[in-house]
Amino acid sequence: MVTGASAGIGRAIAMELASRGAGVVVNARRRERLEELTGAIRAAHEGARVEVAAGDCAEQATIDSMLDTARRAFGREADLVVVNAGRGLSGSVMTSDTSQWEEMVRTNLLGAARLMRSAGERMLADLEAAKADGGKSGGGKGKPAWLARPHDIITLGSVVGRHVSPFSSMYGSTKFGVHGLAEGQRRELGGRGIRVTVIEPGFVVSEFQQVAGYDPAWFEERVAAIGPMLEPGDIARAVGFVASQPAHVHVSDVLVRPTRQEYP
């Protein structure tokens, strides 16, 4: 399951997972974009299984509906949930547009926490059920259910959620929060076989810059100074790498920068 799949990194992650044979549920608010994506996935990968669960993923009702869609379509709980939807905001505590603060915190932090909690609850129930039926629903031959089939919650943090950046410190603070949620949940669920990961991209060219309100001239200067910037597919490959590790291996934190990005 991938949130924020109508554009940028989320779209690329959905394509990447489908190319690896995963059944995928895609979420975002723009349904028509998701319909276009399902067409593109099916055209690229014959027999691909992809479902749309549109809506605001900071709402608990949408989260429940996404997870229900996965269970209905694939016959079991989602075992790979990518908490990707989010938005940027140009500026610092002093300079950013205060009218955007609440929506950003609601989407990036509270929405992420709600989804992480719901996904974690369902994964735990899934693992318990597999244990109860002797590992059959886990697909394992005598292995514990968590070892037979990995369960992943993969969050999108940011390099500015690790290093404070004055040009986006208000946004960065939400990503510091996401890193905290992910590490906290990793400690809580790792012992029960669920891997909670944070992927920390540097500059990725997507709709992010426009939504965040970056000055295009400033961004062009950054591109000239440190480009080429990352593309969404560069992050999608990192997600594919994490998710394809054997269940006893957890690559829990991946920072991906454009090679020439010196700071932050």
Ligand X SMILES: NC(=O)c1ccc[n+]([C@@H]2O[C@H](COP(=O)([O-])OP(=O)(O)OC[C@H]3O[C@@H](n4cnc5c(N)ncnc54)[C@H](OP(=O)(O)O)[C@@H]3O)[C@@H](O)[C@H]2O)c1
| Choices 38-46, 185-193, 201-209, 216-224 (CB under 6 A): range interacting with ligand X | 201-209
Nearer to ligand X, 7 or 105 (CB): 7
Q: Please list every residue from 108 through 137 that binds ligand X, using CB under 6 A.
A: none
| Choices 16-24, 38-46, 197-205, 213-221 (CB under 6 A): range interacting with ligand X | 197-205
Angle, vertex CA 232, rays to CA 175 and CA 15, nearest 5:
115
Indicate the residue type of 149: R
Least Å distance, CB 26 to ligand X, is 9
Indicate the residue type of 109: L
- Residue 168, Cβ density class (10 Å: 0-12 exposed, 13-18 middle, ≥19 buried): buried
Instruction: Determine the Cα–Cα distance for residues 184 and 190; give it in Å rounded to an integer.
Output: 10
Least Å distance, CB 56 to ligand X, is 4
**Tokens standing for residue 93:** 């505590």
Q: What is the size of the binding site for ligand X (CB under 6 A)? A: 32
Q: CB under 8 Å, gap of 24 or more: what pairs does 59-62 form?
A: 59/111, 60/114, 60/118, 62/27
Whether residue 199 contacts residue 238, with contact meaning beta carbons closer than 8 Å, is answered with: yes
Least Å distance, CB 136 to ligand X, is 35
| Choices 22-30, 38-46, 68-76, 130-138 (CB under 6 A): range interacting with ligand X | 22-30
Nearer to ligand X, 74 or 219 (CB): 219
- Please identify which residue in 35, 56, 231, 234 interacts with ligand X, judged by CB under 6 A: 56
Least Å distance, CB 193 to ligand X, is 26
Query: How many C-beta atoms lie closer than 10 Å to residue 121's C-beta?
Result: 12
- Please identify which residue in 15, 28, 37, 196 interacts with ligand X, judged by CB under 6 A: 28
Matching residue, tokens 């002797």: 134
The CA dihedral of 204, 1, 16, 190, to the nearest 10 degrees, is: 80
Nearer to ligand X, 90 or 137 (CB): 90
- Please identify which residue in 146, 176, 203, 214 interacts with ligand X, judged by CB under 6 A: 203
In this structure, is the dihedral angle defined by the CA atoms of residues 37, 196, 140 and 126, taken in order, positive or negative? negative
In this structure, is the dihedral angle defined by the CA atoms of residues 58, 60, 61 and 65, taken in order, positive or negative? positive
Q: x/- contact string, 146-185, with ligand X (CB under 6 A)?
A: ----------x-x---------------------------
Least Å distance, CB 31 to ligand X, is 8
In the complex, which residues of this chain contact ligand X (CB under 6 A)?
A: 3-10, 27-30, 33, 56-58, 84-88, 107, 156, 158, 201, 203-204, 206-208, 211, 232
